Amino acid sequence: MDYFNVAILGCGTVGSGVAKILIDMPEELAVRAGKKIQLVKIVDLYPKKAAANYQIPMQLFCGGGKDLLRDEATRCIDEIIADPNIHLVVETIGGTSDYLYGIMHRILSAGKHLVTANKAMLAEKGGELFRLARQKNVLLGYEASVCGAIPIIKTIRESFTGDKILEISGILNGTSNYILSKMQHEGLDFPTALKNAQEAGYAEADPTLDINGGDAAHKLTILIRLAFGANIDYFSLYKEGIDQISREDIDFANEMDCSIKLICYARQMDGKIFAAVKPMMVKNDNFLSKVNGATNCVEVKNLYSGKHYFVGKGAGSLETASSVVSDIVFAAKYQGMAISMPDLKDFELVEAGSIVLPYNITFTTEDRPGITGLVTTAIGAQNINIDTVSHNRHNKDKAYFSVVTMPCTLNQVKQAIDQIKQKAPGLLLEEPKIIPILY
């Protein structure tokens, strides 16, 4: 049986998990791949710390197990790229630096397969890497880049080739979902729920990408490219996080039989892509509303086969590593027949203001008579039908109430708010909060 040799760059949370699986399952993986998959080299700046995660043999580390300077690590990487006996490289260093991009480009240029969990790199700079993989007839594997252990990439790429994907929506960031679940079910405010997530290990010390929608947008960008063949720019994708969600928003959602979730939404129609990452009020009879904690869920709506839900852990050492290893086995078995990403075509990315959805608009106003009538009149003047108006809540000299619209565009809602400001300057004590509703 032939050998298929693998090197790992970066042996942190995910990389060490990959090493463990490769070491623990050689016979099973050989049967599945038709080749003996061997881990032959690991590059990490701090081998002793990396090895301690899963008792990885020190002799596998470049430098014999001593800590490496960056220049030393670079020389080790150069040796791996130049070695014709190494067939595949796993990149779990992370980040979008030009230094790392250059390494990934050189790996593919050398005719080696590359497997990565680096969603940020693929979303922001992946176009040329995928093009190069096609040119060199090698696999650029990225199953682990979206939703960890959930096999959503292979499902879209292989299982749905006999169908047409119309729409993708879902919860693609476990940290934000954990925080919102704590706010809804335990009555926590946002700062307390965030601190709770950090203490539980679900949020980083700097949680910015998780709570501002950036991480979820990286994943949605990749799914849009794969599902629709659309050449979408990550930086043009509308993204809004959960850091402005308040207890009042949670309470209004409860009144409407909804749960607030950070939703990734994309729909392809007539050569256009409607897409956004945004907190939404999800109706409680929608399956996505039942997904709590750090769990991820992707909903795919197809033309012929209808709706499909994919639920599981979106992160974790061994969970994500299992997806990396599945790509390694795929590359070993199929070699040049492995297709990473289809050729992409240019689609118009419709700005978020034109997406038609129902909206919940929460107003904070002066506490005086006639305000509800003024607000609803302005909304109606923009040809927006109103579904419901909540009871007023009072806090000293402030009033809080929400208006639920029938499907309309965000631009219509904003025009109504501008009209209110013009007719009654100073009436709105805060900028109204606009949250779409997902049925």
Residues with a catalytic annotation lie at 219
- Beta strands (DSSP E) in 10-100 are 36-43, 88-91
- Is residue 354 classed as helix, strand or coil in its secondary structure? helix
Cβ–Cβ < 8 Å for 153, 143: yes
User: What's the DSSP call for residue 168?
Assistant: E
DSSP annotation of 302: E
- CA dist., res. 65 & res. 437, Å (int): 54
389: Cα separation from own chain's centroid? 34
Residues 6+ apart with CB under 8 A from 389: 372, 376, 401, 402, 403, 404
Residue with tokens 């795929």: 330
Q: At how many degrees (to 10) do helices 119-136 and 214-228 cross?
A: 30
Secondary structure (H, E, C), 401-425: EEEEECCEEHHHHHHHHHHHHHHCC
Q: How far is CA 91 from CA 36, 121, 219, 416, in A?
A: 20, 11, 17, 49
Per the CB < 8 A criterion, the answer to whether 237 and 217 are in contact is yes
Nearest to 204 by CA among 180, 232, 179, 223: 179
Q: What are phi and psi of 380, to 5 degrees?
A: -60, -30
> 190-199 and 174-186 helices cross at what angle (nearest 10)?
120
Please list the helix, strand and coil fractions of the chain in percent, rounded to the nearest 5, in that order: 45, 25, 30
Name 272's Cβ contacts closer than 8 Å, sequence gap at least 6.
347, 348, 349, 350
